[in-house]
C-alpha cells in the first residue's frame, strides 16, 4: 500500500510533469481523431468516385452490347410487321446466340411478363415472371417492362449467376421494341466492382489503424521524453537546491561565527580590560584603606568608578549592536538616527541622516531588515571606503519605502576583484529579497568616486496605523 501512495499522491515535480503531459495527450488525441475523420472522409469520396467510374464503365459496356445486338437484327425488325412471327423467331434466335463471357447473355420479355429468350437459364423460357422480385424485394421483370415502355433504362438487382448458381448484384440495360411489345436487355454482374470497393475500404481502414499506431508511438515517445526531461530537470534542480541550501547553511554558520568572534573580541579587548582595571583600582584602594591611608584611597576609587561606567557603556553599545532597543521602542527612524550618531562619534566621519515621516508604519521584519542593511553599510564604509562624508536617507512614498546610504569613498572593487569576497553585500541582498524588495548598488572609483546602496521595499510592507499611541511613531 505504501508503494502505491506516490502514484495516488504525486509530489510537486510529478504534478508539473502531469500538467505538462496532459495538453500533449489531449493535442495528440485531437490530432488522431481529426486525421482519422479526414482520412475516412477523403477515402470514402475516392472510393465512391472509383465505384462510380467502374459502374459507368460497366454501363457503357452494356450499352455497346445492346447497340451491337440491335444493329444485328435491325434489318429484320425494321421491315417486319407487328404480328410477323417469323421475324420474331429469327430475332429471338439471333439474341439467343449472343452470349459472351462466363455469365453474359441477352434476355427478352414481352410486356405481359413472359420470358422469350434466356439462353443461359432456359428454364425461364415461356414462363410468365410478372411480379418476380429478388432477394431484397426489388421487382425485376415488372421493372424491365416499365423501362422498356419508356424506351430504355438501367436496373440493378440481385440475380443468380449461371456459372456458379450464387446470387450476386447485377446491372442490366433494357430497351423496348414497341412494335412487338418486347423488353430486350442484357446485364453484367458487378461483384468484382463491389469486391474492389470492399478491398479499397479495407485498405483505408488499415491505413487509419496504422496512422493511430504511428500517432500512439509518437505520443508515447513524446511522453517518455517529457518524463525523462522532467526527471533530469528535477534531479538537477534538486541538486542545485541542495547545493544552495548547503551554501546558505555554511554562510549562516560563518555569520554566526563571525558575530561570535566580534562579540568575543569586544568583550576581551574592551569590557574585560576595563573590568581588570576596575579590579586593580579597587584592590589598590582596599590596600590603602587597610593601611589607614584613607586620603590616598580616594583616587583609585574614583578611577575604578570611571572605568566601571565605561564598562557599562560598552555593554550597552554591544547590546545595542546585537538588538537595538530603540528599534522596538521608538521605531526605525530614531534607531537609524542613533546608529548614525554613534557612527559619527566613533569614527569621526561627517554623517548626515534625513528622513520623511511615513503615512503608514513599517512591519517588524522590514524595520529589522532596513536597520541591518544600514548597519552593514556603515560597517563597510568604516572598514574599507576611506570616506569623510556619509549620508543616510529614509523615505516612505507611494510605492513603498526606500533606504539610501551614500558615501564619497574610494568605491567598490570591480566584479572580478570582489568575486568571492565577504558576505556583507550578499547578506543585504538576501535580506531584501526575502521581503520581495530590491537592492541597488552604484559605485565608481577614483577621486570623485563613491558608493550608493539603495534598498527598496514594496508597499505591501507598509501597514495602516493603529491606535493613537502607535501612530505617534510612524517610522
SS (H, E, C) 363-429: CHHHHHHHHHHHHHHHHHHHHHHCCCEEEEEEEEECCEEEEEEEECCCCCCCCCCCCCCCCHHHHHH
- Calculate mean pLDDT across residues 338-358: 84
Instruction: For residue 232, give Cα distances in angstroms to 86, 228, 239, 241, 314.
Output: 98, 6, 10, 14, 56
* pLDDT digit string, tens, across residues 4-63: 454 456 666 566 666 767 777 787 788 878 877 887 787 778 778 877 787 888 888 888
- Calculate mean pLDDT across residues 72-83: 86
Rg (CA), the chain: 55
Instruction: Name the average pLDDT for the chain.
Output: 80
* pLDDT of 17: 65
In terms of residues, how long is the chain?
475
Q: Within 10 A of 322 (CB to CB), how many other CB atoms are there?
A: 10
Q: Which of 12-26, 226-240, 328-342, 369-383 shows the lowest per-residue confidence on average (mean pLDDT)?
A: 12-26
* pLDDT digit string, tens, across residues 278-311: 787 788 778 878 887 777 777 777 777 887 887 7
* pLDDT of 424: 72
Q: Which of 280-294, 409-423, 451-465 shows the lowest per-residue confidence on average (mean pLDDT)?
A: 409-423
Q: 3-state DSSP call for residue 457?
A: strand
CB-facing half-sphere around the CA of 376: CA atoms within 13 A = 23
Sign of the torsion formed by the C-alpha atoms of 461, 462, 464 and 468: positive
CATH for 101-189?
Answer: 3.30.450.20
pTM score of the predicted model: 0.46
All cell numbers assigned to 442: 552604484
- Calculate mean pLDDT across residues 322-340: 76
The strand pairing partners of 390, in sequence order, are 351, 407
Instruction: For residue 436, give Cα distances in angstroms to 305, 358, 431.
Output: 50, 20, 9
Q: Of all residues in the chain, what percent carry a pLDDT higher than 90?
A: 14
Q: Enter the DSSP assignment of 464.
A: P
Q: Decide yes or no: CATH 3.30.565.10 for domain 325-471.
A: yes
All cell numbers assigned to 463: 501597514
Q: Which of 55-64, 300-309, 343-352, 449-458 shows the lowest per-residue confidence on average (mean pLDDT)?
A: 300-309
- Tell me whether the CATH fold assigned to 101-189 matches the one assigned to 325-471: no
Closest CA to 463 of 372, 409, 380, 401: 401
* pLDDT of 324: 67
Q: Of all residues in the chain, what percent carry a pLDDT higher than 70?
A: 85
- Calculate mean pLDDT across residues 354-370: 76
- Contact by Cβ (8 Å): 83, 89: no
Q: Using the predicted structure, report yes or no on whether residue 149 has a pLDDT greater than 90.
A: yes
Q: Which of 24-38, 255-269, 316-330, 458-472 shows the lowest per-residue confidence on average (mean pLDDT)?
A: 458-472
Confidence band of 473 (pLDDT split at 50, 70, 90): very low
* pLDDT of 142: 93
- Calculate mean pLDDT across residues 332-336: 83
H or E, element range at 235: helix 191-265
* pLDDT digit string, tens, across residues 78-119: 888 888 889 999 999 999 988 888 888 999 999 999 999 999
Torsion angle, CA of 196/201/205/206, rounded to 10 degrees? 10
Which of 106-110, 222-226, 319-323, 453-457 reaches the highest mean pLDDT?
106-110
* pLDDT of 474: 41
**Domain assignments of the chain as residue spans, ordered by start:** 101-189, 325-471
Q: Which residue has the higher pLDDT, 143 or 23?
A: 143
* pLDDT of 125: 92
- Calculate mean pLDDT across residues 317-344: 76
Would you list the DSSP string of 43-81? Answer: HHHHHHHHHHHHHHHHHHHHHHHHHHHHHHHHHHHTT--
CB-facing half-sphere around the CA of 189: CA atoms within 13 A = 21
Q: Which residue has the higher pLDDT, 254 or 468?
A: 254
H or E, element range at 439: strand 438-444
CA pair distance 141, 130, nearest whole angstrom: 6
Q: Which of 171-185, 232-246, 421-435 shows the lowest per-residue confidence on average (mean pLDDT)?
A: 421-435
Amino acid at each position: 500500500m505504501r508503494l502505491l501512495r506516490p502514484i495516488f499522491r504525486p509530489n510537486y515535480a510529478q504534478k508539473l510533469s502531469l500538467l505538462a503531459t496532459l495538453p500533449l495527450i489531449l493535442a495528440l488525441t485531437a490530432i488522431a481523431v481529426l486525421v482519422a475523420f479526414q482520412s475516412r472522409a477523403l477515402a470514402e469520396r475516392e472510393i465512391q468516385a472509383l465505384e462510380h467510374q467502374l459502374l459507368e464503365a460497366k454501363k457503357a459496356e452494356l450499352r455497346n452490347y445492346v447497340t451491337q445486338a440491335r444493329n444485328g437484327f435491325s434489318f429484320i425488325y425494321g421491315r417486319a410487321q407487328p404480328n410477323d412471327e417469323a421475324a420474331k423467331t429469327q430475332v429471338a434466335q439471333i439474341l439467343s446466340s449472343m452470349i459472351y463471357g462466363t455469365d453474359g447473355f441477352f434476355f427478352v420479355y414481352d410486356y405481359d411478363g413472359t420470358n422469350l429468350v434466356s439462353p443461359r437459364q432456359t428454364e425461364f423460357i415461356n414462363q410468365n415472371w410478372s411480379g418476380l422480385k429478388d432477394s431484397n424485394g426489388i421487382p425485376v421483370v415488372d421493372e424491365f417492362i416499365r423501362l422498356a415502355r419508356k424506351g430504355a433504362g438501367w436496373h440493378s438487382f440481385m440475380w443468380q449467376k449461371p456459372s456458379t448458381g450464387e446470387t450476386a448484384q447485377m446491372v442490366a440495360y433494357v430497351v423496348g421494341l414497341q412494335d412487338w411489345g418486347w423488353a430486350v436487355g442484357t446485364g453484367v454482374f458487378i461483384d468484382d466492382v463491389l469486391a474492389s470497393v470492399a478491398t479499397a475500404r479495407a485498405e483505408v481502414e488499415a491505413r487509419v489503424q496504422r496512422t493511430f499506431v504511428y500517432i500512439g508511438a509518437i505520443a508515447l515517445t513524446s511522453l517518455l521524453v517529457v518524463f525523462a526531461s522532467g526527471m533530469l530537470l528535477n534531479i538537477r534542480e534538486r541538486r542545485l537546491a541542495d547545493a544552495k541550501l548547503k551554501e546558505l547553511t555554511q554562510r549562516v554558520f560563518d555569520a554566526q561565527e563571525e558575530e561570535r568572534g566580534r562579540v568575543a573580541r569586544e568583550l576581551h579587548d574592551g569590557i574585560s580590560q576595563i573590568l581588570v582595571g576596575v579590579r586593580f583600582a579597587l584592590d589598590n584602594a582596599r590596600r590603602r584603606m587597610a593601611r589607614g591611608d584613607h586620603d590616598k584611597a580616594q583616587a583609585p576609587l574614583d578611577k575604578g568608578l570611571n572605568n566601571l561606567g565605561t564598562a557599562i557603556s560598552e555593554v550597552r553599545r554591544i547590546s545595542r549592536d546585537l538588538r537595538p532597543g530603540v528599534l522596538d521602542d521608538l521605531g526605525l527612524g530614531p534607531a537609524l538616527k542613533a546608529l548614525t550618531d554613534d557612527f559619527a562619534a566613533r569614527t569621526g566621519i561627517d554623517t548626515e541622516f534625513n528622513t520623511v515621516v511615513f503615512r503608514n508604519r513599517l512591519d517588524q521584519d522590514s524595520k529589522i531588515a532596513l536597520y541591518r542593511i544600514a548597519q552593514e553599510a556603515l560597517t563597510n564604509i568604516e572598514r574599507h571606503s576611506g570616506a569623510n562624508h556619509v549620508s543616510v536617507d529614509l523615505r516612505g512614498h507611494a510605492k513603498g519605502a526606500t533606504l539610501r546610504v551614500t558615501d564619497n569613498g574610494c568605491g567598490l572593487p570591480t566584479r572580478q576583484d570582489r568575486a568571492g569576497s565577504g558576505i556583507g553585500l550578499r547578506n543585504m541582498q538576501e535580506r531584501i529579497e526575502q521581503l520581495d524588495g530590491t537592492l541597488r548598488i552604484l559605485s565608481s572609483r577614483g577621486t570623485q568616486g563613491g558608493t550608493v546602496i539603495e534598498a527598496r521595499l514594496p508597499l505591501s510592507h507598509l501597514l495602516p496605523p493603529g491606535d493613537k499611541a502607535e501612530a505617534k511613531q510612524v517610522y
